[in-house]
Every structure is written in structure tokens, then in C-alpha cells.
Amino acid sequence: MARNNLGRIFASIADLSAPPKLSPPLVGSSNSVSRLIRSSSSTRQENSPVKEPGETVKSNQESEEIVDDQEDENEEDTGDFVNKDTGEVGGPRGPEPTRYGDWERNGRCYDF
């Protein structure tokens, strides 16, 4: 039920991002929107193969929670996030990007 609503929300956002030529600020936001759609759709895709090979209900719930967390994160993107360990304001969520010496964001390395 919740997912259907989300589907409708994402569909409407996808409509908004439809125009081909956008000025730079809009391109930025449509990139984040498309990232949002991609990440949530991919997590939804991941959930369906995960369900099939007889996984326990518990792990399903966990993965659903992760999806919800990510959706919450993405919706709160504009708000300032305060990192509990470092006290950083407006920084990236999740593990520290430089924990292994390179600049990492969601698994992608940007510099080293």
C-alpha cells in the first residue's frame, strides 16, 4: 500500500524531470531526483529476488526497513544532518567517507 503511494509520488517526480533541456540548477535537482528513483527502484528490485529463495520473514522486514530508512534519508536531504560521532553539520550520512583513506560515498570512491 505504502509502496503504491510511493510509486505514484515517484511517477509524478519523473514527470517533472521529463523536459530534456534544463538549466544547470534544475539539472542538479533532476539528477538527485533520478538518483532517488533509481536507488529506490533498485532496492525494490533487490527485495524481490531476495524474497524468492525462501528467505526468512525477518530478513524481509530488515530489508524493508532499510528501504524505508533510505527513503527517509532521501526525503530529508535538504535538512541539516548532524553527525553524532564527529559533530559535523550537513555532512554525508553513513560511515565516515575517509575511514579507509580514500574519499568514499556509498561505495563509490572519488579521490584517494
Partner 1 sequence: MGFSIWVWRLGSVGGRLLSLPPLSFIMYAAIFFLLKRKSLVLVFHFICKLRMIAMATGVAAGTSNFHFGGIRCKGQSCQQASLVSSLTFNGCIQRELSWSFGVSRFLRFQRFNFSHSPVSENWKSLRTVPVLSCLRDGSVKYFDFSVIGSGVAGLCYALEVAKHGTVAVITKAEPHESNTNYAQGGVSAVLCPSDSVESHMQDTIVAGAYLCDDETVRVVCTEGPDRIRELIAIGASFDRGGDGNLHLAREGGHSHHRIVHAADMTGREIERALLEAVVSDPNISVFEHHFAIDLLTTLDGPHAVCHGVDTLNVETQEVVRFISKVTLLASGGAGHIYPSTTNPLVATGDGMAMAHRAQAVISNMEFVQFHPTALADEGLPIKPKKTRENSFLITEAVRGDGGILYNLGMERFMPLYDERAELAPRDVVARSIDDQLKKRNEKYVLLDISHKPTEKILSHFPNIAAECLKYGLDITSQPIPVVPAAHYMCGGVRAGLQGETNVRGLYVAGEVACTGLHGANRLASNSLLEALVFARRAVQPSIDHKKSTSIDLSASNWWTRTVVPKSLGCNVMHNILRRTKEVRKELQSIMWRYVGIVRSTTSLQTAEWRIDELEAEWETYLFEHGWEQTFVGLEACEMRNLFCCAKLVVSSALARHESRGLHYMVDFPHVEENKRLPTIILPSLVNCTWSSRQLHKLPVC
User: Taking Cα atoms as reference points, which of 33, 27, 45 lies closest to residue 9?
Assistant: 33
**Shortest CB 39 distance to partner 1, Å:** 6
Residue labelled with grid coordinates 505514484:
8
Using the minimum distance from each CB to partner 1, give the nearer residue, 19 or 53. Answer: 53
**Shortest CB 40 distance to partner 1, Å:** 10
**Shortest CB 108 distance to partner 1, Å:** 5
**In the complex, which residues of this chain contact partner 1 (CB under 8 A)?**
24, 38-39, 42-43, 45-46, 49-50, 59, 62-63, 66, 70, 82, 86-92, 94-112
Interatomic CA distance for residues 58 and 63, integer angstroms: 9
99 contacts 89 by C-beta, under 8 angstroms: no
Using the minimum distance from each CB to partner 1, give the nearer residue, 10 or 91. Answer: 91
Cell numbers placing 94: 553513513
